[in-house]
Amino acid sequence: MTVTTTKGSVDAVSPRALRVPDRRRRATAGYPRWTPYLFLLPAILLFAGFTVYPYVSALWLSLTTNRGGETTFAGLANYVRLLRDPLFYTALKNTFVILIVQVPVMLALAVLLAVAFNSVLLKARALWRTIYFVPIVMGLVAYGILFRALFSSQDGFVNQLLGAVGAGPIPWLANGFWAKMTIVIALTWHYTGQSAIIYLAQLQAIPVDLYEAAAADGAGAVQRFWNVTWPGLRPALVLTAILSTIGTLQLFDEPFVLTGGGPNNATLTVGMYLYTNGFRYFDFGYASAIGYALTLIIGAISLIQLRLTREKP
């Protein structure tokens, strides 16, 4: 079949191509324009009920106070109180200390593990990948209890090992510094395997031709890593850095189970402080203000990370 253009030339057009628009018109004939929105309605309602409403409700709660069992509008009083609360700054400092130490260590270990998992020299690679990924499937409370037993200052297994090699016992959960390090160790053990699997998937997407070209140019193993592997890992690195930062800023389960925020508030995190105000003192207005302050902090840090790690044109 042929069709003549305006300039007189003749172009061949497939008869099937001409029938496609007609088929689409027949398939949608008789349906009103709002039909697609009808199918989207259940998802929209669920999103509004379980995501939008809680955010709006929490925002309203943050502007109220409860006195004598009566909820009254307080404006920005909870936020002014938050800015003057020294315990909030203590919780914020503890959270950032854990973040600054744990996230870089975990991501560095994950990169090394991913490179090892991707190596052709490693035997039984599937087994090793499974072993390192298993911790992520363990429940947060369960592994918190496990680490509390392992790092007990009195009869913990770790101190027993240290005693066997002649090292003195360490007050893991009784000293502020060591309590933070215990949480760092627990978080690293639990999440490193997950990040390593993400990096492994990204490594396997890097074309082998790049490594072959680098080797042909005389690049050694270290040069191939920095010039091929590291740039290829960039998208996964940005993703895991942001997700790990968000997760650590929301840290609650590990310090709650391991240390209860102690000793002397040395491991109190913003998430724990929010929980304490909301579900121990039932000050939901102030707890909501803490939650929104944490949301703003997370949003600001994530934005900074994205701007610092974006690829330059």
Answer whether residue 66 is part of any domain: no
Question: Is the pLDDT reported for residue 224 higher than 50?
Answer: yes
Mean of pLDDT values over 67-71: 78
Indicate whether 154 and 256 sit together in one domain.
yes
Answer whether residue 263 is part of any domain: yes
pLDDT of residue 7: 47
Which residues constitute the domain of residue 113?
81-309
Band of pLDDT at residue 195, cut at 50, 70 and 90: very high
Indicate whether 54 and 93 sit together in one domain.
no
User: Which of the listed ranges 110-114, 155-159, 206-210 does the model predict with the highest average pLDDT?
Assistant: 110-114
Band of pLDDT at residue 121, cut at 50, 70 and 90: confident
Answer whether residue 222 is part of any domain: yes
For residues 3 and 36, give the distance between their C-alpha atoms in angstroms, rounded to a whole number: 35
| The CA-based dihedral angle spanning residues 150, 154, 158, 163, taken in that order and rounded to the nearest 10 degrees | -160
Judging by beta carbons within 10 Å of its beta carbon (0-12, 13-18, 19+), is residue 136 exposed, middle or buried?
middle
Indicate whether 143 and 40 sit together in one domain.
no
Indicate whether 143 and 234 sit together in one domain.
yes
What's the pTM?
0.82
- Rounded to whole angstroms, what are the CA distances from 43 to 37, 40, 46, 58, 112? 10, 6, 5, 22, 41
Indicate whether 171 and 128 sit together in one domain.
yes
Answer whether residue 258 is part of any domain: yes
